[in-house]
Amino acid sequence: MPSPAPDTILFDGVCNLCNGFVQFVIRHDPAGRFRFAALQSDAGRALLLAHGIAPAIVAAEPESVLLLSAGKLYSHSDAVLRIAHGLGGSWRLAAVGSWLPRIWRDALYRFVARHRYRWFGRQESCMLPTPALKARFLP
């Protein structure tokens, strides 16, 4: 039986908070369950188009980490909670957050997203993965 395709995390490639989140996932995902694509990359734009999302809208002001899992696209707090669950171990406890109404979770998510550049800064261009991690990033 073939192994399932890895889930893909789409992230704002110039956001320091988002890049830190990607590094966190990499550190806690030694099995390589997740792969990554910047929303600004060709691969990221192609995945957005394939799921009926206009890349220009997302690229203009990306506010969300997106998770593509088993052909379904998750956003905002749902994406973060599913990623934490996918990391396994004690990170599965983050699922407790799903007990809160989505409207509250997403309001908190959007608040942080609106202020992330001011609080954490941004880069001039998307991060480049190290040669050891290059296989986990979509081109």
> What Å distances lie between residue 102 and 11, 72, 79, 95, 108, CA to CA?
20, 18, 12, 12, 10
Q: Dump pLDDT digits (tens) for 41-75.
A: 888 888 888 887 776 656 556 677 899 998 899 98
Burial of 86 (0-12, 13-18, 19+ CB in 10 A): buried
Q: How many CB atoms are closer than 10 A to CB 125?
A: 9
Q: Dump pLDDT digits (tens) for 86-97.
A: 998 888 887 788
Residue 114 has pLDDT above 60, yes or no: yes
Higher pLDDT, 120 or 90: 120
**What letter does residue 41 receive in the DSSP assignment?**
S
